[in-house]
Amino acid sequence: MFLLGLLLPICYIPGYTGAAIPTQWALVGVALLPSLWHGRMTAYHWLGSIFLAYACASQFWSLDYGYGVWLAVLWALAFWWGGTQSSLLPLWQGLAWGLALNVPIALAQSYGWQGIPSMYGGAAGLLFNSTLLGACCALVLAALISHHEWRFTPILGYALWLSHSRGAWLALALALIAKHAHPLVALALLICGALWLGYAPGPHDVQRLQIWATVIGKLSAFGWGAGSLAELYMFPDPHLASQIIHVEFAHNDILQLIFEYGLGAISVFILFAFALAFPSARNYAPLVGFAVLATFWFPLFAPIPAFIGCACAGHILRRHDPVIALRRDWGPDLVPGDADPEPCSRAAWSEALPSLARIAH
């Protein structure tokens, strides 16, 4: 697990390895396959299987050629893998080391060195996109602080500062508030931020709002198919027909999932809603950070944040299967000898149900 975390931030060297598809996606796919021989299916895994089946079926009406389905399979693998781990601390330590190795490169890039290219010349290390560097640092910092691991916080904090990503700072702040104060406080602050975005948007925010409007205007009940948003273009100014923008990402994962899968995305939303209902979980903070980023960026379609978010959700839900809880607390043991080393009980759900009720209201 430590080795996987170490390799993810350094296995892709922009301009030298990988091309349109970052190397991290391939590494995740290969490294997580052995986990399929461990663990067992729960109600959450069956729910995820419904989504995977829908994603595969959507290829019949999608213009994509399998890339979107491949990403959905990798999300499922990360979710399964997270559920097979007793602790994610070695992963956070490996990611911290890997991101720390990016800091000297990002520092050189901040002074204009482009021996390793980055998007718009920003300080991105090996991750090409400075926002991606900031997002990864924010999620790993949230996890390390929750585990009381302080050794890497200075250098990861410095990398976060080099990235100049406002969204990453916001994700880190709300993640820690949700974990150590109350999730509803973080939600209220996020809503206030969204209102401010609509009242006083910056130049990049205006384009983001235009993308949202374009995507919302094309939503359909069954979606356009896995990976279909990559084929969407928009004209930001109707008076300038020559100006066209390739959308590629909705900059809001909720919108993108609805655009591509329609009603088929409901199972994904249910999975993450249940995972976010356990604020006492040790890896709750990085999951909240991931959810915050998903409201204005695309962490589910960036390899390292997607792996972190799905693995955290799987790890949090590994002990909380509602079907087993109902069977053990209110029904007979239907499968003799079916021992559960980490039993689910009514007590485990006493924490989650009030949280879900508050979210619903």
Model confidence pLDDT, tens digit, residues 346-360: 444 455 555 555 544
pLDDT value at residue 333: 41
- Specify whether the CB–CB gap between 180 and 273 falls below 8 A: no
**Structural domain harbouring 97:** 2-319
Quick: pLDDT tens for 215-267.
898 899 999 989 888 888 776 655 545 567 777 888 999 999 999 999 999 99
Cα 332 off chain centre by: 38
**Residue 231: both structure tokens together:** 């084929």
Domains in the chain, number: 1
pLDDT band at 339 (very low <50, low <70, confident <90, very high): very low
Strand partners, 237: none
H-run or E-run covering 102: helix 89-110
pLDDT at 343 over 80: no
- Specify whether the CB–CB gap between 146 and 91 falls below 8 A: no
Whether residue 171 is contained in a domain is answered as yes
Residue 131, helix vs strand vs coil: helix
Quick: pLDDT tens for 271-282.
999 999 999 899
Whether residue 344 is contained in a domain is answered as no
Of 4-13, 156-165, 182-191, 202-211, least confident by mean pLDDT is 202-211
Whether residue 65 is contained in a domain is answered as yes
241 or 48, which is more confident: 48
Whether residue 343 is contained in a domain is answered as no
d(CA 342, CA 90): 21
Q: What is the mean pLDDT of residues 17-25?
A: 74
Which pTM was predicted?
0.86
Whether residue 100 is contained in a domain is answered as yes
d(CA 303, CA 320): 26
Whether residue 54 is contained in a domain is answered as yes
| Whole-number average pLDDT of the chain | 84
d(CA 131, CA 136): 9
pLDDT value at residue 354: 52
pLDDT value at residue 207: 80
Whether residue 137 is contained in a domain is answered as yes
pLDDT value at residue 325: 56
pLDDT band at 15 (very low <50, low <70, confident <90, very high): confident
Quick: pLDDT tens for 316-335.
998 777 666 555 554 444 33
